[in-house]
Structure 1
Amino acid sequence: MARYVFITGGVVSSLGKGLASAALGALLQARGYKVRLRKLDPYLNVDPGTMSPYQHGEVYVTDDGAETDLDLGHYERFTGRPANRMDNITTGRIYQDIIAKERRGDYLGGTVQVIPHVTDAIKEFVLDGNEGYDFVLCEIGGTVGDIEGLPFFEAIRQLGNDLPRGEAVYIHLTLMPYIPSAGELKTKPTQHSVKELRSIGIQPDILLVRCDREIPMAERRKLALFCNVRESAVIPALDADSIYAVPIAYHAQGLDDEVLNAFGYKGAPAPELSRWETITHRITHPEGEVTIAVVGKYTGLKDAYKSLFEALIHGGIANNIRVNIEWIESATFDVEDPTPHLDHVNGILVPGGFGERGAEGKIKAAGFARQRKVPYFGICFGMQMAVIEAARSLAGIGGASSTEFGPTEEPVVGLMTEWLKGNDLERRGFDTDLGGTMRLGAYPASLAADSRIAAIYGDTEISERHRHRYEVNCAYRDRLEERGMRFAGMSPDGVLPETVEFVDHPWFIGVQFHPELKSRPFAPHPLFASFIAAALAQSRLV
């Protein structure tokens, strides 16, 4: 029977509940337990798919096509367990389901209320499908006291009573700020946060306290006394040089031991942390370094490219080198020559995105990489812009563009109106809803046996995750291949281009999918490992 760990946050947002949940999951997994992680988001959006990345960071896509919170990326990267659409729920989805039931008459004329109907729906989500797991870790988004989060806190409070005694543990993540003018660490924010949590009926079992320096024992005792927890249950969560050092750091502070003690586990096996030790050693003791320029349109918020950032780090781990990333706003190249920004880098990556803003800058970045023989990695939109650049510069199609930017006589990239998902034909139009209407989730692709990308994968049949609404137009394939851009990967039916590459370039690959979503620190994605290896070779030529 599964035991449940509920992770809540207080004081301020962005303290790292998702990372803490993932690290704890990794520690329990390292002890031989089977772990599932789930995220409960209080916002009213049905999912984050229509949000700007500046609002909520990247949208993480699962194999089954769910657009989810970026924390699910942490969960997958730390545990290796593929998430699915049932690992993330929002207030919007809860209310959508409840209102649909009410319209059908499922409540038999009763008044539909937050308690019990909304809280029951949340509890049903938390408890569903957990057979075979030892621990289910549920992270509640936002901070305690947020008005939109109250139904979720009430639901997990009820679960503490619904579940058999000793099968639910509450962890509260808070901040202990240092006040330079006073030269003191302050416990009061955590005290107030716990008081707020207790006022709604939840007594935390463990405090995970974020701080930028060591917490003296006197302050830990004070927190234990005023927050009604054991001294051993006040766990410092200090800043780390790398997120991949967090599992080892939390174990050293006793987090996993305290969780198991709270459940009454005695004599649990020690965690096997050798792979995390290897990863952190490679990060802290690199044998070289490369500089990668990421030319994107959301570079003002690094969480907009969270999985991409981590996948580049994984590529560095695979090659035992440090990856330095320069974030460049693609709109800069709309008015400026890219040369001063790119002539010193060892590789150029153009990531996914939506809309016309910054598109010309991405096209220029692709052209610079092609002409200067700099390793280039185009992902989703980055592949499309590379194809448009080749069409304009090599195939003589001066008006080459994308219908995403408006009507064009040369739709080298166009809206995808229908495609196969398994045995079902999916159809879309210009006037359909934006949410959940893209080609989403895992799709297969067939790679040419003699292509560079097939050599990188070591296979000709692959499956990768997609999130896009537009496709490269196969009508232009022959003209582009005559100029050296090879369509090396296609959908199994031969209709949709999945990868392109230049035969006469050291490393120039575009992919329509998002390989960064499947990269792990202990299993770097082969495309990122190869890209960083190519960048390292480029650095040695300079």
Structure 2
Amino acid sequence: MARFVFITGGVVSSLGKGLASAALGALLQARGYSVRLRKLDPYLNVDPGTMSPFEHGEVFVTDDGAETDLDLGHYERFTGVAARKTDSVSSGRIYSNVLEKERRGDYLGKTIQVIPHVTDEIKDFIAIGEDEVDFMLCEIGGTVGDIEGLPFFEAIRQFAQDKPRGQCIFMHLTLLPYIAASGELKTKPTQHSVKELRSIGLAPDVLVCRSEGPIPPKEREKLALFCNVRPDSVIAAQDLKSIYEAPLAYHREGLDQAVLDAFGISPAPQPNLAKWEDVADRVYNPDGEVRVAIVGKYTQLEDAYKSIAEALTHGGMHNRVRVRAEWIDAEIFDREDDVAPLLEGYHAILVPGGFGERGTEGKIKAAQFARERRIPYLGICLGMQMAVIEASRNLLGMETAGSEEFDQEAGVKRFEPVVYHLKEWVEGNRTIQRDKDDDKGGTMRLGAYDAVLKDGSRVAKIYGGTGISERHRHRYEVDIKYRDKLEAAGLRFSGMSPDGRLPEIVEVDGHPWFIGVQFHPELKSKPFAPHPLFADFVKAAVDQSRLV
């Protein structure tokens, strides 16, 4: 039976609850325990799949096809535990489930209310798989006091009451602001946050305080007194140069010990942190640096490409170099005939995914520059499709080559589509059918799919075999009817779906490193297990830096 840690936040959002949860999971693993992490989000969207990247950051996709919050990426990267559909839920999903049950008559004519029906649905979700692990870490999105979060707070209060004493604890993360004018670290916001939490029946066992520096003994004692926690359960979460130092930093502060003490686990196994010490060493002691241009559509918010940024960091760790990722708005390229002044000096170019036509001409120009100038290029999802369109235009002479997506968006036929809307594909032992007019949420090709790599290809050498499984999130595919012409021109289709119908990977013959993938390899990369594509891509950038 799992022990439960409920992580809540106060004062302001974006303090790092997801990172603290992930780091705690890593520390418990280092002590020999098994863990699973969950995210409970209070927004009314059924999932973040239809939310703008500017609103919510990237959508993280699981193997079983769930579109989830980006915090699940942190959970996977730090613990190596593959997330599942049952690890992410929103108010929208909870209410949708309750209303579906009401329509079916499952409640036998009862009046449906937040308590007990909504809270019971949340509790049922929390309990899924509780016999599988030693610790279940559940992060509640938002901050205490948010009206939309109240059902979740009430549900975890009830859940803790239902369980035997000592099986659930509460960890609360708050802000300790430093007022430079007075030279003081202010504890009052944290006191008020804990007071708000206690007013709804929850009391923190561990208090994690985000601050710019260490917490002086006087302030630590004050927090312990007024927030009713032990002084050694007041944990400083100081600003770090790298998120990958977080497990070591939290261990130095005693977070894992405070959690184990709250559960009464004594003596506790000693942690083996060698893995994280090696990760930190690779981050802080690189042997060089490479510059990678990321030509994307949502560059104003780095969280929109969070997993890509982290996967590049992992590739850098593997090669003992620091990757300086520089974000370039693809729309700037749309207005430029010559993109060379904007891209010269970079050691590699990455074009990530996206939706819609905006910025795509700039991505095509970036792919052309990389191909013609022999700069390492990695195109992901839309980035692969733009590379195929570029090759169609400039190698095959198809001046109007484009994507059906762009014509559909404009409502005008302008392009000869080498990329089309996927209407049917095979998932396991069943056929999935979709129409362009279907609802947008959850209707893409989502989750893990197998691919077969061409023997002797660059990607087969990178992966070390010809069979792979990668995560997808897209509704448009490259049309294989142009395959023979493109391969004759030098663009090889080196990875295909098992039935041979859907292109998964393309690469340019004779190029130092030019690969486009339809899937999202960044979603499976971890600091201690970099994705092979990113590790080899960064290696190619290192080789390129020696030529410059």
SS in 1 for 2:324: strand
Q: What code does the residue aligned with 2:386 have?
A: M
Equivalent position of 2:154 in the other structure: 154
Query: Contact 1:62–1:441 (CA<8 Å) still a contact in 2?
Result: yes
Measure how far apart 1:132 and its partner are.
2.6
1:441 is the counterpart of 2:447: yes
Q: Residues 246-257 of structure 1: matches in 2 within 5 Å?
A: 246-257=246-257
> Is 1:260 matched up with 2:266?
no
Quote how far apart the aligned CAs of 1:99 are.
0.4
Give the superposition deviation at 1:383: 0.2
3-state DSSP of counterpart to 1:437: coil
User: Residue 439 of structure 1 contacts residue 466 of structure 1 at CA under 8 Å; is this kept in 2?
Assistant: yes
Say yes or no: does 1:451 pair with 2:452: no
Q: Residue 290 in 1 paired to residue 290 in 2? A: yes
Q: Runs in 1 of length 4+ with deviation above 3 angstroms?
A: none
**1:534 match:** 540
Distance 2:80 2:350 in 1: 25
Q: Is the 8 A contact 1:380 1:468 kept in 2?
A: yes
Q: 1:417 aligned to 404, 407, 423, which one? A: 423
SS at match of 1:323: strand
Q: Work out whether 1:502 is the aligned partner of 2:508.
A: yes
What CA distance in whole angstroms lies between the structure 2 residues aligned with 1:520 and 1:422?
27
CA distance in 1: counterparts of 2:469 and 2:38, whole angstroms:
24
* 1:347-426 matches, cutoff 5 A: 347-406=348-407, 407-426=413-432
**Could you say which residue in structure 2 is the equivalent of 1:279?**
279
Determine the structure 2 residue equivalent to 1:239. Answer: 239
Q: 1:204-227, CA deviations, whole angstroms, 9 ceiling, x for partnerless residues? A: 001000001121110111111111
Tell me how far 1:339 sits from its aligned partner: 1.3
Whether the 8 Å CA contact 2:454–2:495 is kept in 1: the answer is yes
Q: Percent identity?
A: 68
| Separation of aligned partners in 2, 1:487 and 1:282 | 35
Q: Deviations over 1:179-218 (max 9, x none)?
A: 1111111001101100100000101001000001121110
How far apart, CA to CA, are the structure 2 residues paired with 1:227 and 1:132?
33
Match in the other structure for 2:300: 300
Q: Is 1:40 aligned to 2:46, yes or no?
A: no
Task: State the distance in 2 between where 1:229 and 1:192 align.
Answer: 14
- Alignment match, 1:341: 342
Q: Whole-Å Cα distance in 2 between the matches of residues 430 and 522 of structure 1?
A: 40
Instruction: After TM superposition, give the deviation of residue 531 of structure 1 in Å.
Output: 0.2
* CA displacement 1:337-360 (0-9 Å, x = unmatched): 321221010000000000000000
Alpha-carbon separation, structure 2, partners of 1:291 and 1:333: 19
Q: SS state of the match for residue 510, structure 1? A: strand
Residue 314 of structure 1 aligns to a residue in which SS? helix
Q: Find the counterpart in structure 1 of residue 3 from structure 2.
A: 3
Residue 494 of structure 2 corresponds to which residue in structure 1? 488
Q: Secondary structure at the match of 2:498?
A: coil
User: Match of 1:341, SS?
Assistant: helix
Output the CA distance in 2 between the equivalents of 1:356 and 1:132. 45
Distance 1:82 1:459 in 2: 22
TM-score of the superposition, structure 2-length normalised?
0.98
Greater shift in the superposed pair: 153-162 or 5-14 = 153-162
Hey, what does 2:329 align to over in structure 1?
329
2:74 equivalent in structure 1 = 74
| Contact kept? 1:402, 1:408, Cα under 8 Å | no
Partner of 1:463: 469
Supply the distance in 2 between the matched residues of 1:423 and 1:205 (Cα, whole angstroms).
48
Equivalence for 2:215: 215
The SS at the match of 1:395 is coil
**Residue 129 of structure 1: how far off its partner (Å):** 1.5
Correspondence list, 1:182-197, <5 A:
182-197=182-197
1:91 equivalent in structure 2: 91
Cα distance in 1, alignment partners of residues 342 and 188 from structure 2: 47
Which of 496, 516, 522 is matched with 2:522 structurally? 516
State the Cα deviation string for residues 374-406 of structure 1 (Å, max 9, x = none).
Answer: 000000000000000000001111100000001
Structure 1 residue 251 displacement after superposition: 0.5
Q: Give the conservation status (yes or no) of the 8 Å contact 1:294–1:350.
A: yes
- Give, in whole Å, the separation in 2 of the partners of 1:478 and 1:128: 49
Structure 2 unaligned blocks of 5 or more: 408-412
Post-superposition Cα deviations, 1:107-158, rounded to whole Å, max 9, x if no partner, equal 1111000000000110110012121311000000000000000000000111
For the residues of structure 2 that align with 1:139 and 1:210, how far apart are their CA atoms?
16
Superposed CA offset, 1:275-322 (max 9, x none)? 100010011000011000000000000100010000000000000100
For 1:541 and 1:431, locate their aligned partners in 2 and report how far apart those are by CA, in whole Å: 49
Other-structure match for 1:429: 435
SS of residue in 1 equivalent to 2:472: strand
Tell me the CA shift for residue 436 of structure 1: 0.3
Query: What TM-score comes out, normalization by structure 1 length?
Result: 0.99
**2:404 alignment partner AA:** T
> What secondary structure, in the 3-state scheme, does the structure 2 residue paired with 1:541 have?
coil
- Please, which runs of 5 or more residues in structure 1 have no aligned partner? none
Q: What is the Cα deviation at residue 473 of structure 1?
A: 0.5
In 2: Cα distance, 1:128 partner to 1:469 partner:
31
Whether contact under 8 Å (1:464, 1:515) holds in the other structure is yes
> What CA distance in whole angstroms lies between the structure 1 residues aligned with 2:494 and 2:283?
33
C-alpha distance in 2, partners of 1:408/1:187? 61
For the residues of structure 2 that align with 1:148 and 1:91, how far apart are their CA atoms?
Answer: 8
Counterpart CA distance in 1 for 2:19 and 2:490 is 44
In structure 2, the residue corresponding to 1:501 is in which secondary structure?
Answer: strand
Output the amino acid matched with 2:438: T
Counterpart AA for 2:375: V
CA shift, 1:238, in A, is 0.4
1:51 aligns with 2:51: yes
Matches of 2:147 and 2:260, distance apart in 1: 32
Residues of 2 paired with 1:486 and 1:160: CA distance?
57
2:131 matched to which residue of 1?
131
Task: Report if the CA contact (8 A) 2:404-2:415 is conserved.
Answer: no
Alignment of 1:164-179 (within 5 A): 164-179=164-179
SS of the equivalent of 2:506 reads: strand
Matching residue of 1:225: 225
User: Given residue 518 of structure 1, which amino acid in structure 2 is its aligned partner?
Assistant: K
SS in 2 for 1:78: helix
- Matched residue of 1:486: which SS? strand
SS at match of 2:546: helix
1:409: Cα distance to partner?
A: 4.8
Would you say the 8 A contact 2:503–2:518 is kept in 1?
yes
Paired residues of 2:403 and 2:415 also in contact (CA < 8 A): no
Determine if contact 2:292/2:348 at 8 Å carries over to the other structure.
Answer: yes
C-alpha distance in structure 2 between counterparts of 1:232 and 1:31, whole Å = 19
Q: Whole-Å Cα distance in 2 between the matches of residues 132 and 45 of structure 1?
A: 29
Displacement of 1:408 in angstroms is 4.2
Please list the CA deviations of residues 416-461 of structure 1 after superposition, one character each: whole Å capped at 9, or x if unmatched.
Answer: 0000001111011111000000000000000001100100000100
**Structure 1: distance between partners of 2:485 and 2:47:** 40
Matches within 5 A, 1:101-116: 101-116=101-116
**Which one-letter code corresponds to 1:505 in the other structure?**
H
